[in-house]
């Protein structure tokens, strides 16, 4: 019995000694050559090499809007169902990039420099996009939000810097959708919907904000002036039937420049561009017709302003065009076709 006890005691002491002498694994303290653990299966970081595709069209098909945001120029190429962009206005269209395609008859785009809102007209949507950068330092655009059921055929959208608000117009329901973004946020929220009841069912293509007022182009043979704050109508300006189907009004210098798509019956034979020194004179026909001055034979549409010039999109012709022009002391100068 004593012999067995001695043997067990010896085994217990030996195991304790061996266990106490085992070395602890070294602690990994840095990414040095000595302590890198190489696994049989390597996990490789996924590379973001996304880029926007190059525009494949050599012409524009119903261009409706041109603008500049930061160092990029954008054209809404309506009947090609896309928006394209580039860093200059001299290279051919085949060198432009496609910001987004697959839309249904988009008309305008607006940006606050962070987010870009586009009206997807026939889908009754507003899409929100942001500029991204891939791992090679190349920019591309990505859809980040979509707002559905934006009235019927949202047709015109602008960013109003003074109120930090995007105004998006439903062209057939008399509804104005107000979108806003918090300063430090990238998401856009639908803040409010305002409505003008008398424009329900009337095709009104656009609006113009001047100070604290907003003007809606004629869709029912009169221009409406409303308060920007609540869209309460404060004045009405009748127009002659021949110019009732207006596209846009722009206040340039001392004149209202008006682009006309159709007459009151919808005939495109009355397409034109004109200017008047007052909105009241549009009821009497006392205005200057500028159609021949621009050399138009299509439909003048939206006018925009950037880089110290004005730009006019013209469509409904086989070779749609974009014009650049200047206005100095109410004189129209330097009319140039850029596309």
The average pLDDT across 53-81 equals 97
pLDDT-based confidence at 268, cuts 50/70/90?
A: very high
- How confident is the model at residue 44, as a pLDDT? 59
Q: Taking Cα atoms as reference points, which of 284, 291, 283, 245 lies closest to residue 267?
A: 245
Stretch among 40-49, 124-133, 146-155, 289-298 having the lowest mean pLDDT: 40-49
Which pTM value belongs to this model?
A: 0.86
- How confident is the model at residue 220, as a pLDDT? 84
CATH of 48-195, one of 1.20.210.10, 2.130.10.10, 3.40.190.290, 2.40.50.320: 2.130.10.10
Q: Taking Cα atoms as reference points, which of 153, 93, 165 lies closest to residue 124?
A: 153
The average pLDDT across 53-82 equals 97
Tokens of 285: 């026909």
- How confident is the model at residue 317, as a pLDDT? 87
Domain 198-302+323-339: give its CATH architecture. Beta Barrel (2.40)
- Using DSSP, state whether 155 is helix, strand or coil: strand
- How confident is the model at residue 96, as a pLDDT? 98
10-38 per-position pLDDT tens digit: 444 444 433 443 433 333 434 433 333 33
Tokens of 58: 């050599």
Domain limits, the chain: 48-195, 198-302+323-339
- How confident is the model at residue 336, as a pLDDT? 97
48-195 and 198-302+323-339 have identical folds: no
């Amino acid at each position: 019995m004593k012999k067995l006890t001695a043997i067990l005691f010896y085994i217990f002491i030996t195991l304790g000694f061996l266990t106490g002498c085992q070395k602890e694994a070294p602690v990994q303290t840095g990414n040095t050559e000595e302590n890198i653990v190489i696994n049989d299966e390597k996990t490789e970081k996924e590379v973001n090499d996304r880029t926007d595709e190059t525009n494949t069209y050599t012409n524009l098909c119903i261009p409706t809007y041109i603008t500049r945001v930061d160092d990029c120029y954008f054209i809404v190429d309506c009947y090609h169902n896309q928006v394209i962009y580039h860093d200059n206005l001299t290279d051919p269209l085949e060198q432009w990039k496609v910001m987004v395609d697959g839309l249904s008859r988009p008309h305008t785009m607006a940006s606050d420099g962070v987010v870009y809102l586009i009206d997807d007209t026939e889908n009754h949507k507003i899409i929100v996009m942001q500029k991204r950068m891939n791992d090679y330092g190349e920019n591309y655009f990505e859809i980040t939000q979509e707002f559905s059921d934006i009235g019927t055929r949202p047709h015109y959208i602008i960013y109003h810097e003074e109120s930090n608000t995007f105004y998006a117009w439903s062209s057939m329901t008399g509804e104005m959708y107000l979108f806003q973004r918090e300063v430090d946020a990238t998401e856009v929220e639908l803040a409010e919907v305002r409505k003008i009841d008398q424009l329900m069912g009337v095709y009104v293509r656009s609006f113009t904000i001047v100070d604290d007022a907003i003007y809606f182009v004629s869709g029912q043979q009169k221009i409406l002036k409303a308060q920007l704050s609540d869209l309460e109508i404060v004045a009405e300006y009748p127009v002659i039937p021949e110019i009732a189907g207006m596209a846009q009004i722009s206040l340039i210098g001392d004149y209202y420049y008006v682009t006309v798509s159709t007459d009151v019956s919808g005939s495109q034979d009355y397409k034109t561009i004109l200017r008047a020194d007052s909105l009241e004179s549009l009821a009497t026909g006392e205005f200057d017709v500028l159609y021949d001055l621009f050399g138009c034979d299509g439909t003048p549409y939206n006018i925009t302003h950037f880089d110290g010039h004005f730009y006019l999109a013209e469509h409904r012709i086989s070779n749609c065009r974009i014009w650049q022009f200047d206005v100095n002391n109410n004189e129209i100068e330097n009319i140039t076709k850029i596309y």
